[in-house]
Structure 1
Amino acid sequence: MQGIKIYDVFDNGEWIGSYTADAITKLYKVPRAMIMAYASSGTRAQRRYTFASVMSIEKGSGLDKWKAEWDRARLKLLETGGNGN
């Protein structure tokens, strides 16, 4: 089964959050196909972002539904500045 990976994201060495590859692509414009390669090699994306794989959730484990809801809510908060509008 294919899983969902969660990555820690660092901006010039400063931790800024933990995200799925889809969320990283939306928020930081890093190609989804490159995120795992950046995490494996330690290479910086856009000369500032580094990634570390922190968790893998197997599809069908029940956590994938939680992950989708978490991403939806988190992205909405980030887009609206937390005011819910």
Structure 2
Amino acid sequence: MAYTYILECNDSTFYIGWTTDLENRVKVHNEGKGARYTRGRRPVKLLYWESHDNRSEAQKREAALRRLNRREKEELINKFTKKLINIQE
């Protein structure tokens, strides 16, 4: 299993990545050991994730998410958040 994810950095920018261990990857970003982009923008907050069957699918989706503009990313995050809230109710 692999994951594609979107983080919100402390400066309100988004970072998009992929991993096989989502919880650990967010922890690594917040420890300053993750991507160079997030090191100076901590703390980061996980806003969105998708699961994939394999690394290749996750990497392809990461590339697609990076091509979205900010408004499109925000819409995706908002739909995801609403879906999570509905699941929890």
TM-score, length basis structure 2: 0.37
